[in-house]
């Protein structure tokens, strides 16, 4: 009948409610699946004189949210029949709206026994669809009667906004209804409660398990970063909860896949009560982060975790057997070299590691009473002030938190990366010494020291990973004798300026990347007129497009080198994308091929073969003659003035120039000097072994020497 619906079916179902037992239960189920509006039938049943019918109807009114039944349900809360009365109080939460809130509060303040909790549930239901701030305002208006305030704590917990939390904390501190306020605080579903609960756990050792269990739920649901989650789990474990709660937190560490989490989990391997949880987190971390599968210390931790699982397997746990196999597979391929090592367990007076250290990354936790300074490669360049951690040459500060803070530092070549508690302080920043006029050191000590006498610097969990030294380029004896100058030695771009965000030293190469933003060209710090420029290049991705800009004018930057000077093309010119239809590009002109003086002189086409190979190049610029040699072969040797018959711009002053190959004006073509630049048009090219011979300087010396002889 419920599937058919209709008035007759509804009347029949109301009649069945009076049958009692299984028939009543069947009727209730039928009502709940009834195809149509059951309000009239339920209201009719509520007016019945049969207690079974009224009790069943109350359940139906609440389950189907029949708001029109509110008045009758209120009436039945006064029934002399205890069963009906209790059912009515139970039903209230399903039939109330926000306009019933005042009536419910009046009833609540005069309630006793079990009715109180049921009225609180009904009052919460009445306003649950309101915004949190609106809920708080409605509840706050009822708190004027101090003797009744505790009745509204669950409603404040439901509102859960900052004002509600503050009010509950205030009520908890006042002490008159401390337990009720405490219980309400445990029910608030707001990440702002994480710090509040931590403080409560510290203040209430006997209740810390219950508090930290709720705290863990909120942290998991708060969408915290791996670093933030680690810090929150770590400080909770510092409070020493029971083994059961420890296991919950240690298990949670498995989702925070960073080396501090791995190391913290490892500390719980030696306790039989927590060893399985620790081993599970270790397995989760190392199996998901291949970059952590290296080093003797990590290897030892994995071996210990494997032994824990082996013991469980021996007890008959089949799942532990899978874990043994998983960790055995990781151990078989682990790289024992490098990796993070425990540099320091804890200290009350900072630290100093003499090294010398060149490239490295590290984590450590710190707390301080003052303003300690972190020296990297013996350069005091990171300030750890509570008000703001900063790189001395950066413009960003991250405020420290009370208690332990986690800092991550990476120094690689001439770049610095710093994160504090998961927030970026410095990213891809150029390393500079203090003072800036002093050259940056390529290696040195790592030290954390107090900024002033009498200040304490507390450190713990210091993990250090020494990264490979950077290959350093040195001139051959022949080039050194000729007078070549190294412009990039593999480590540093200190002889360059401009777009140092996108041009980054990586493994001894300049790599053009889009990872750190930045735009524009990378320029030498010196101007050059006549010169020999040598380098090696590598196409890391297909269709790479770059160029070497020359003679764009003395100290000129930010212009298109192809027109305001010259651009010697660097291009993976045989990639299909450049071959025209159907690849979406109109097709290259010969004057756009690799090695061209762009738009002016066409080079001989060169076949590079597959990408990901190193090629050598030399660009010689002497007066108007430009010579380009690739892989030992001269592919361009021409005179720019002759190429355009002396007309670098259109004689008639127009925009179309019949004397250049691309028919465009090149106003800077005959410039005498300018920076040498890398002209980026996208990521994916590498340069290395970059050096230059300044022929104009050499000519000036020869001229001066000739005058002296006279």
Residue 290 sits in a domain of what CATH number? 1.25.40
pLDDT of residue 24: 64
**Token pair recorded at residue 107:** 């009833």
Cβ neighbours of 514 (radius 10 Å): 13
Q: Where are the alpha helices (DSSP H) in 401-476?
A: none
Query: pLDDT grade, residue 1 (50/70/90)?
Result: very low
Same domain membership, residue 455 and residue 517: no
Q: Which residue has the higher pLDDT, 310 or 586?
A: 310
Same domain membership, residue 536 and residue 396: no
215 pLDDT more than 50: yes
Same domain membership, residue 248 and residue 322: yes
pLDDT of residue 285: 98
Find out whether 601 and 626 touch, Cβ atoms under 8 Å.
Answer: yes
Among 443, 466, 489, which residue terminates a domain? 466
Same domain membership, residue 319 and residue 347: no
Same domain membership, residue 389 and residue 294: no
Q: Is the peptide bond before 339 cis (omega within 30 degrees of 0)?
A: no
Q: What is the CATH number of the domain that holds 354?
A: 2.60.120.560
Same domain membership, residue 394 and residue 330: no
Same domain membership, residue 573 and residue 687: yes
C-alpha Rg value of the chain to the nearest Å: 38
Query: pLDDT grade, residue 10 (50/70/90)?
Result: low
Q: Which residue has the higher pLDDT, 2 or 533?
A: 533
CA distance 655 to 669: 15
Whether 304 is covered by a domain: the verdict is: yes
Whether 488 is covered by a domain: the verdict is: yes
- Point out the least confidently predicted range of 305-314, 578-587, 617-626, 673-682: 578-587
The chain-wide mean pLDDT, for the chain, equals 92
| DSSP label of 694 | E
* pLDDT above 70 coverage of the chain, percent: 92
- Averaged pLDDT for residues 79-94: 96
- Averaged pLDDT for residues 328-356: 94
Among 273, 305, 337, which residue terminates a domain? 337
CA distance 398 to 108: 48
- Point out the least confidently predicted range of 20-24, 471-475, 629-633: 20-24
Query: Which of 15-19, 330-334, 578-582 is the most confident on average?
Result: 330-334
Same domain membership, residue 580 and residue 457: no
- Averaged pLDDT for residues 494-519: 88
Single out the residue of 213, 178, 218 nearest to residue 195, CA to CA. 218
CA distance 663 to 665: 7
Whether 142 is covered by a domain: the verdict is: no
Look up the domain containing 432 and give its range.
341-466
Among 317, 337, 357, which residue terminates a domain? 337
Same domain membership, residue 485 and residue 592: yes
53 pLDDT more than 90: no
pLDDT of residue 234: 98
CA distance 549 to 556: 11
CA distance 276 to 271: 9
26 pLDDT more than 70: no
For the stretch 378-430, pLDDT in tens is 999 999 988 899 999 998 999 999 999 999 999 999 999 999 999 999 999 99
Whether 705 is covered by a domain: the verdict is: no
Whether 89 is covered by a domain: the verdict is: no
Whether 166 is covered by a domain: the verdict is: no
CA distances to 41, 53, 63, 99, 122 from 74, rounded to whole Å, are: 18, 17, 16, 14, 11
**Token pair recorded at residue 430:** 């150029």
- Averaged pLDDT for residues 327-332: 96
Same domain membership, residue 600 and residue 482: yes
- Averaged pLDDT for residues 36-44: 77
pLDDT of residue 6: 42
pLDDT of residue 2: 44
Number of domains in the chain: 3
Same domain membership, residue 675 and residue 634: yes
Q: Which residue has the higher pLDDT, 456 or 524?
A: 524
Place of tokens 């409605």: 138
Find out whether 289 and 340 touch, Cβ atoms under 8 Å.
Answer: no
Single out the residue of 319, 248, 239 nearest to residue 278, CA to CA. 248
- Averaged pLDDT for residues 4-10: 47
Whether 567 is covered by a domain: the verdict is: yes
pLDDT of residue 632: 98
pLDDT of residue 710: 55
């Amino acid at each position: 009948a419920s599937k058919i619906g209709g008035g007759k079916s509804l009347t029949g179902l109301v009649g069945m409610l009076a049958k009692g037992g299984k028939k009543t239960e069947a009727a209730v189920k039928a009502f709940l699946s009834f195809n149509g509006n059951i309000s009239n039938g339920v209201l009719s049943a509520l007016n019945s004189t049969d207690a079974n019918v009224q009790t069943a109807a109350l359940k139906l009114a609440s389950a189907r949210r029949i708001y029109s039944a509110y008045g009758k349900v209120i009436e039945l809360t006064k029934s002399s029949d205890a069963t009906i009365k209790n059912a009515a109080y139970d039903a209230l939460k399903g039939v109330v709206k926000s306009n019933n809130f005042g009536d419910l509060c009046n009833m609540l303040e005069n309630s006793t026994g079990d009715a109180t909790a049921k009225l609180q549930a009904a009052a919460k239901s009445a306003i649950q669809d309101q915004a949190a701030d609106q809920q708080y305002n409605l509840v706050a208006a009822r708190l004027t009667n101090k003797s009744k305030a505790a009745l509204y704590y669950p409603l404040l917990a439901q509102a859960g906004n900052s004002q509600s939390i503050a009010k509950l904390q205030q009520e908890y501190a006042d002490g008159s209804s401390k337990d009720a306020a405490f219980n309400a605080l445990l029910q608030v579903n707001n990440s702002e409660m994480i710090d509040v609960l931590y403080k409560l756990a510290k203040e209430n050792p006997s209740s810390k398990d219950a508090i930290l269990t709720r705290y863990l739920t909120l942290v998991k649901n708060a969408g915290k970063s791996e670093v933030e989650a680690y810090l929150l789990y770590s400080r909770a474990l510092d409070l020493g909860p029971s083994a059961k709660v420890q296991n919950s937190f240690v298990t949670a560490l498995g989702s925070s896949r960073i080396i501090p989490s791995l190391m913290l989990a490892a500390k719980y391997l030696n306790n039989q009560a927590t060893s399985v949880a620790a081993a599970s987190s270790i397995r989760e971390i190392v199996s998901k982060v291949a970059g952590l599968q290296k080093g003797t210390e990590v290897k030892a931790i994995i071996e210990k975790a494997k032994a824990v699982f082996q013991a469980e397997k021996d007890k008959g746990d089949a799942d532990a057997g899978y874990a043994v196999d998983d960790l055995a597979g990781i151990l078989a391929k682990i790289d024992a070299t490098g990796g993070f090592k425990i540099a320091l367990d804890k200290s009350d007076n900072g630290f100093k590691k003499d090294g010398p250290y060149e490239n490295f990354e590290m984590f450590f936790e710190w707390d301080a009473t003052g303003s300690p300074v972190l020296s990297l490669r013996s350069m005091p360049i990171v300030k750890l002030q509570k008000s703001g951690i900063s790189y001395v040459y950066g413009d960003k500060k991250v405020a420290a938190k009370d208690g332990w803070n986690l800092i991550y530092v990476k120094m690689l070549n001439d770049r610095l990366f710093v994160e504090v508690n998961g927030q970026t302080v410095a990213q891809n920043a150029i390393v500079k010494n203090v003072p800036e006029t002093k050259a940056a050191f390529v290696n040195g000590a790592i030290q954390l020291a107090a900024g002033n006498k009498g200040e304490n610097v507390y450190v713990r969990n210091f993990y250090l990973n020494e990264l490979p030294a950077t290959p350093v380029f040195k001139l051959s004896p022949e080039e050194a004798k000729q007078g070549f100058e190294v412009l990039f030695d593999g480590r540093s771009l200190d002889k360059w300026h401009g777009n140092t965000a996108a041009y980054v030293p990586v493994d001894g190469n300049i790599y053009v990347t889009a990872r750190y933003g930045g735009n524009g060209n990378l320029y030498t710090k010196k101007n050059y007129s006549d010169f020999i420029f040598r380098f090696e290049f590598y196409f890391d991705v297909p269709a790479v497009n770059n160029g070497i800009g020359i003679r764009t004018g003395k100290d000129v930057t930010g212009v298109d080198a192809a027109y305001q000077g010259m651009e010697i093309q660097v291009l993976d010119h045989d990639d299909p994308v450049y071959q025209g239809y159907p690849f979406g590009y109109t097709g290259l002109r010969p004057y756009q091929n690799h090695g061209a003086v762009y738009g002016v002189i066409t080079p001989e086409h060169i076949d590079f073969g597959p990408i990901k190979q190193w090629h050598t190049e030399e660009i010689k610029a002497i007066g108007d003659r430009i010579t380009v040699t690739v892989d030992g072969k001269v592919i361009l040797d021409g005179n720019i003035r002759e190429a355009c018959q002396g007309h670098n711009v259109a004689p008639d002053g127009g925009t179309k120039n019949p004397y250049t190959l691309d028919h465009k004006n090149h106003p800077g073509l005959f410039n005498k000097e300018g920076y040498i630049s890398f002209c980026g048009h996208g990521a994916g090219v590498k340069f290395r072994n970059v050096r230059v011979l300044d022929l104009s300087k050499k000519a000036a010396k020869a001229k001066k020497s000739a005058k002296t002889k006279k």
